[in-house]
Chains A and B, each alone.
Chain A
């Protein structure tokens, strides 16, 4: 069976800075992949290339066999690839409900009634049923991020990308967001998660990928990755992170 996400020979530069230096990666349908690494290692850039929020100079990305390229087909691919951002990026002028319903309404062509019914069900799923009519500004960071997850889910995507979803949260709100993510894992949706939450990676990931300086240094199932990392650079990173 071919992989759901196929990344081959991916290179990306910001001017003189070479952010990605040849990434080859395949991710299977339903797999939960956690990408870790020091800041500036290119991990956020990598997942932003998957739905082409970041343009790249070389290589290719395929989702479900379709090349992800600019043009008419892009919004179709993006509808299959949900994304959750570090800073939530909810639409501040729309209620939580409308934030979640917008995609199904405009992209899937659902009726407003059906779209809102789906949005209500998803807000219920992330524990926010009673906050449906609030504006994002009236919600806590953790609640906003859960709305953002519901918004991504509303498209029933094949893939969910998480770009440091808990990094902008107060510590006491990290748990509620991770719990929602953990509940999603292994329900069929493929997840690619950039995070610094090592405990979460250990519990939930099928595979952990360690990136540094724009390359994949090591990848392994979590037991092997945390228990017996092979590469010296991985060992140094884990030591620095797990010490405190």
Chain B
């Protein structure tokens, strides 16, 4: 068997393609749900961590540290295989989305904290001096500026979340990687895995380029 028929076998690829695309759809859906949930909860977590009442502030810090330390695969296995022992039985999608969001929340919170802390003190003072309350100060003054600063690291985090969706295959999620390994077993040929790798690249390479573009623009703006 030569290299082409082993790794780039067209008939095998053609047969596997519908499965792969189905998997890609689930990967994108899982990634999107986790990114959105992680974004919203991460922003709230950052605000709690910076401005919450004392016990909440400590809790937020503990949460962020713990979920940045725990390996995602371990968390995923815990959520899917351990929680049923206390009666919490999540579907593989729900388990994967929960684990991904919880970790993304922690990273997003750290990114937002850094962005908010980079806003000069004078901005908070000017907002306070015209009588803006906390919520308006955040919405109108601080967060729009912070969001510009953190767009590159936030996009990087989105890439990480999308890549980490592949771990969901461990809890029987029919995502892109799982579909590929199944198709590979069925055809006794690794071409579907190559196809999956290519689909991941098609999905993620533009995002990686986008981060580079944001960073270039940010450099130009700060010079």
Against A, the Cβ 8 Å flags (1 = close, 0 = not) of B100-129 are: 000000000000000000001011011111
A78-B128, A89-B120, A93-B145 known, 6 other contacts, Cβ within 8 Å: A82-B129, A93-B148, A102-B132, A103-B130, A103-B131, A106-B132
Q: Are A106 and B126 in contact (CB under 8 A)?
A: no
Q: Are A83 and B148 in contact (CB under 8 A)?
A: no
Complex: chain B residue closest to A108, CB-CB? B131
Q: Is the CB of A75 within 8 A of B133?
A: yes
Whether B22 sits at the interface, judged by CB under 8 Å, is: no
Pick the contact of B130: A53, A76, A79 (CB < 8 A).
A79
Which residue of A90, A93, A107, A155 is within 8 Å of B126 (Cβ)?
A: A90
Contact B128–A53 (Cβ < 8 Å): yes
Chain B residue contacts of A79, Cβ below 8 A:
130-131
Interface residues of B in 129-149 (CB under 8 A from A): 129-133, 136, 140-141, 144-145, 148
**Cα-based distance from A151 to B128 in the complex (angstroms):** 13
What is the chain A residue whose CB lies nearest that of B136?
A106
* Residue of A with least CB distance to B122: A89
The verdict on A92 contacting chain B, using a C-beta distance below 8 Å, is yes
A contact residues vs B (CB 8 Å cutoff):
51, 53, 75-76, 78-79, 81-83, 85, 87, 89-94, 102-103, 106-107, 148, 151-152, 154-155
**When the two chains form the complex, which single residue of B123, B131, B136 contacts A78, counting CB atoms closer than 8 Å?**
B131
Chain B residue contacts of A83, Cβ below 8 A: 125-126, 129
Complex Cα spacing A152 to B136, Å: 17
A78 to chain B, nearest CB (A): 4
Separation in Å of the B53 CB from the closest CB of chain A?
14
Q: How far is the CA of A107 from the CA of B126 in the complex (A)?
A: 13
- In the bound assembly, the distance between CA atoms of A157 and B57 in angstroms comes to 35
Residues of B within 8 A of A91 (CB): 123, 126-127, 140-141, 145
Q: B132 near A81 (CB under 8 angstroms)?
A: no
Cα–Cα distance between A28 and B144 once the two chains are bound (Å): 39
Contact with A107, one of B131, B141, B144 (Cβ below 8 angstroms): B131
| Shortest CB distance A109–B (Å) | 11
A102 (CB) vs chain B CBs: closest residue: B140
Query: Interface digits, B39-79 against A, CB 8 Å rule (1 contact, 0 not)?
Result: 00000000000000000000000000000000000000000
Contacts known (A91-B141, A93-B145); A103 close to B126, Cβ less than 8 A: no
For A155, what are the chain B residues with a Cβ–Cβ distance below 8 Å?
130-131
A126 nearest CB across to chain B (Å): 16
Question: B144 contacts which of A75, A81, A93, A148 (Cβ < 8 Å)?
Answer: A93
CB distance from A31 to the nearest CB of B (A): 20
